[in-house]
Amino acid sequence: MAAIQEFDLPARWTSLLQDKYSEAVHNLAKMWPDERSLDVSYREVEGYDHEFAQDILANPEHHFLAANQALRQFLLDAGEGNIMPFVRIVHLPSDQVRTVSQLRADDIGMLIAIDAVTTKISGVRPRLYTAVFECVACGHVIELNQPNEQELIEPLECSQIDGGCGRPKRQTRFLLQQQASFLINSQFIELQELPEQMKGGIQPERIICIGEQDLAGRLNPGDRVKANGVLFIRSQRKGGKDTPVFDIFLRIHSLERQNIPLEEISISEEEENEIKDIARDPGVYDLLTNSIAPSIFGMERIKESLMLQLFGGEAQVNEDGTRNRGDIHILLMGDPGVAKSQLLHYMSTISPRGRFASGQSASAAGLTAAAVQDAAADGRWTLEAGALVLADLGLAAIDEFDKMNTADRSSMHEAMEQQSISISKAGINASLRTRCAVLAAANPTSGRFEPVSDVPFTSQINLAPPLISRFDIIWLMTDTPDESSDEKIAQHIIQNRSKGKSELLVNDGTIPHPSRDAASKKEAVKVNGKYAILPREVLRKYVAFSKRNFHPKLNDEARAHIVAYYVKTRKQGGDSADSVAITARSLEALSRLAEASARIRLCDIATVEDAQRAVRLTETWRHELMGDHFDLTTIESGKKGKVRNQEKVIIDIVSKLQNQSGSSAQLLEVLTEAERQDIPRGKAEDIIDKLCRDGRMMRPSGYETLQVV
């Protein structure tokens, strides 16, 4: 194949633009300066001229120059001479796509695409593109191109050929004429390979990229992007000398696919039809519930709520600019050894964009965002996205939620309700989005839950009430002996042990990995042409397809059902006067659950059945947590209604006796009065001691006297 001559390129580009893109160029001239570049699809170029397209990949720099020249000439001929747009080539073929860790010496100078997530960006700074220098001795002007962003190239002499004085650099000085030089915007961007492409246990690799012109300032930390560009190298310096080892950089030529939700999961037409078939089946809810962590026995209701969490409700933006979240947050509080962590691990791997973090090893900066001092960019502070930001539009599973430092846990409040994180550190004021569902697990502080205690279950874990109230569903998982279920669980666990394969043999490659052993999988899973349990890949695609294409709204009946339940529950109240049975926050939780339920059926309308499912789940977890008399005040104050009432009664008695005597109340009289109101003597003494400790009561003159503070 004869190589395409360089002088021939602008003419070829001109004919391509005239044939395929004349309308797009015309629109670009109208949209200037909002649009500064013309996107040319590689597929179109390939259809137009195959050899020409191959040459673009091999010699991209020549083509970029020729294409921009052709585009500007085209605009000049059309009478639009004063604008300088760029041609950006997008949609490269799949054999040009690399991950950061796959980059090799052969790729240098080729046009390639990198799939990655942005972790760090520097500020946008002007950079010299062509510099104009003036010779101090004779005033002659010299123009120089500046190809390297690391150093400024100065003239070596004032050349006589152009009419200069011929003096070399050391006999004269060259002044940079900034007005006459051409400056462009430039930005350093650090890309890191995607979590789903990484091999386990390896630190993710990163590459520094340079975005110029209209590409500077387009990315934020946490954005997933496909960056097309040309690799170039700069020598690593050691002790002021260049070494023969080089660092790789990417000069970005065009950007694609910025955080389109769930874009990384591609679904073929065949798979789409299969998903629709599954959704039509009336038993779809049971099928999906059984498909979640099949190796864990039972827990049907918990798995049902996790299934709804995978699909999630729909986030709403209101007319006044506020936003209501659509993600469902779930808290699992349970005794040790009830498979909480297993559930969390499973959920984080199955959710598109799932992240797993563990309490003690996660800090506030690691979950939200860290301000990092950048050595490359002269010590400026930049932001690095944390786990919640990287799980944007996915699911974050946080184990040992109660073991996190109190200061770190406070950053979760905003991340969960407003779904953004405001950062004010090291002179950076930024807001990052964390639109992810949170699945958290916590253990009781005393090792196990104490069912018979004055302290409610939610206060037996080390979490603050405001944080607990942000969860839509709170499951209590106690480990209570029960003969029939114990036997089933034991059988299930032992059977699972015998089904598993030896990890050592799997790693050696002597036997195939059980999750990838497709042949046995297909047969084991389908019964009479139907799935008994959905394979992980199918489930992931199902979730992605549903979230991408269906945005359910509640219909009138569903709305009425939820409102009726809310009003009825509000009326019931609790045991004591200050009890609140349900708050407005639960209304949103119910509608989110109903929307998620409609999404499972691939339906845009949430019906009364979905609302009933949401109400049933809510009633189940509320009953498990507190029995029939659910009381939010108990959760928020950390005291059961009975205890709160008894405290109130004793304070009332003391203040009444205090008013009668004019000074202080006598302890004996208080205890006698308390016994009349059904508070036993020992209990009353305990309560009085506690009130004195809390500073709500005092003993003004000795142990026998009491006074309300």
Would you list the DSSP string of 610-659?
HHHHHHHHHHHHHHHHHTTS--HHHHHHSS-HHHHHHHHHHHHHHHHHHH
Q: Write down the H helix ranges in 237-324.
A: 269-280, 284-291, 300-311
pLDDT, mean over the chain:
78
User: What does the pLDDT read at residue 519?
Assistant: 44
Specify the higher pLDDT residue, 699 or 132.
132
User: What does the pLDDT read at residue 265?
Assistant: 67
CATH of domain 6-91: 3.30.1640.10
CATH 2.40.50.140, the chain: domain bounds: 98-256
| Alpha-carbon span 123 to 127, nearest angstrom | 12
Q: How far is CA 600 from CA 310, 319, 431, in A?
A: 10, 28, 32
Smallest CA-to-CA distance from 597 within 608, 587, 606 is with 606
Please count the CA atoms within 13 angstroms of the CA of 598 that sit on its side-chain side: 24
Contact 137, 165 (CB under 8 A): yes
454 confidence band (pLDDT: 50, 70, 90): low
CATH 3.30.1640.10, the chain: domain bounds: 6-91
User: What does the pLDDT read at residue 634?
Assistant: 63
Contact 327, 593 (CB under 8 A): no
User: What does the pLDDT read at residue 311?
Assistant: 85
User: What does the pLDDT read at residue 515?
Assistant: 67
| Alpha-carbon span 407 to 416, nearest angstrom | 16
Predicted confidence (pLDDT) per residue in 172-221, tens digit:
778 888 887 888 888 888 888 876 666 666 777 888 888 888 778 777 77
Mean pLDDT of 459-472: 78
Judge whether residue 631 has pLDDT over 80.
no
Which of 109-118, 364-373, 558-567 has maximum average pLDDT?
558-567
Smallest CA-to-CA distance from 401 within 451, 474, 349, 351 is with 474
Judge whether residue 443 has pLDDT over 80.
yes
List Cβ neighbours of 645 (8 Å cut-off, separation of 6 or more). Answer: 575, 576, 577
User: What does the pLDDT read at residue 529?
Assistant: 65
Stated as kind and residue range, the H or E segment containing 349 is helix 340-350
Type of residue found at 300: E
| Alpha-carbon span 264 to 193, nearest angstrom | 13
Q: Is 229 helix (H, G, I), strand (E, B) or coil?
A: strand
Judge whether residue 27 has pLDDT over 70.
yes
Type of residue found at 610: D
Judge whether residue 484 has pLDDT over 70.
yes
Question: If DSSP states are collapsed to H, E and C, what string results for 558-578?
Answer: HHHHHHHHHHHHHHHCCCCCC
316 confidence band (pLDDT: 50, 70, 90): confident
327 confidence band (pLDDT: 50, 70, 90): confident
| Alpha-carbon span 58 to 50, nearest angstrom | 13
| Alpha-carbon span 192 to 384, nearest angstrom | 11
Predicted confidence (pLDDT) per residue in 107-130, tens digit:
888 888 888 888 777 778 888 878
CATH 1.10.8, the chain: domain bounds: 553-637
* Cα 111 from chain centroid (whole Å): 30
Type of residue found at 367: L
What is the percent of the chain where pLDDT is above 90? Answer: 0
Q: Position of tokens 């191109």? A: 145
Contact 157, 173 (CB under 8 A): no
List Cβ neighbours of 508 (8 Å cut-off, separation of 6 or more). Answer: none
Q: Is 113 helix (H, G, I), strand (E, B) or coil?
A: strand
Contact 300, 354 (CB under 8 A): no
Is 98-256 assigned to CATH 2.40.50.140?
Answer: yes
Contact 708, 695 (CB under 8 A): no
Mean pLDDT of 371-393: 69
CATH of domain 292-492: 3.40.50.300
| Alpha-carbon span 350 to 356, nearest angstrom | 11
Specify the CATH number for 553-637; select among 2.40.10, 1.10.8, 3.30.70, 3.30.1450: 1.10.8
Predicted confidence (pLDDT) per residue in 509-554, tens digit:
778 877 666 444 544 456 656 777 888 778 888 888 888 888 888 8
What is the percent of the chain where pLDDT is above 70? Answer: 85
- Its CATH class, for the domain covering 641-708, is mainly alpha
Q: Are strands 437-442 and 330-334 parallel, antiparallel or unpaired?
A: parallel
Q: Is 62 helix (H, G, I), strand (E, B) or coil?
A: helix
Quick one: CA dihedral 288, 291, 293, 298, positive or negative?
positive
Look at 226-240, 356-370, 383-397, 613-627 and tell me which has the smallest mean pLDDT: 356-370
Mean pLDDT of 416-444: 78
Look at 34-48, 482-496, 625-639 and tell me which has the smallest mean pLDDT: 625-639
Contact 374, 363 (CB under 8 A): no
Predicted confidence (pLDDT) per residue in 670-692, tens digit:
777 777 777 777 777 777 777 77
Specify the higher pLDDT residue, 704 or 234.
234
Mean pLDDT of 143-156: 78
Question: If DSSP states are collapsed to H, E and C, what string results for 352-367?
Answer: CCEEEEEHHHCCHHHH
| Alpha-carbon span 64 to 374, nearest angstrom | 31
Predicted confidence (pLDDT) per residue in 246-274, tens digit:
888 888 888 876 555 555 567 778 888 88
CATH 1.10.10.10, the chain: domain bounds: 641-708
**Phi, psi (5° rounding) for residue 96?**
-100, 0
CA dihedral 666, 668, 670, 674 (to 10 degrees): 180
